[in-house]
Amino acid sequence: MNAINWFEIPAADFDRAVTFYETILGKPIRREIFGGLPNGILPYEQDSGVGGSIVHGDGNTPAMTGPLVYLNTGMELAAVVGRVESAGGQVLLPLTPIGPAGTIAVIRDSEGNRVGLHQPLEN
């Protein structure tokens, strides 16, 4: 069982945030209304049990503090990090090996959120 089953990344400007994540991840984000709020559903496999979205609305304020969510970049971490600044974000921690768990980086997204990125170790 996964410790996390869903996460939400708050957005001050929904369209800007969705465009930022589509640009850095290189994948489309599905836009929908959920619970009366705009949500950008990040790509995930239905059977994995873990997913997340970009959400805009009351009570969803971007922050540089609090829990740090790591997005899975597959084997494309360097490419994803390479697109962060041109998409309106900032690299806070460059590619950093973490032993047998792979490599991470930490960014500030277009909304001011601190977000982790992870690439597993190649097998």
Dist. CA 55–CA 32, nearest whole Å: 10
User: In this predicted model, what pLDDT tens digit does every residue of 33-52 receive, in sequence order?
Assistant: 999 999 999 998 877 778 99
pTM across the whole model: 0.91
Residues in the chain where the model's pLDDT stays below 50: none
CATH dotted code for 6-119: 3.10.180.10
Tell me 115's DSSP state: E
Q: Three-class SS of residue 102?
A: coil
Dist. CA 26–CA 77, nearest whole Å: 11
Burial class (CB in 10 A: 0-12, 13-18, 19+), 6: exposed
Contacts of 89 (CB under 8 A, 6+ apart): 20, 24, 107, 108, 109, 110
Dist. CA 29–CA 27, nearest whole Å: 7
**Quick one: pLDDT at residue 1?**
64
The domain limits of the chain are: 6-119
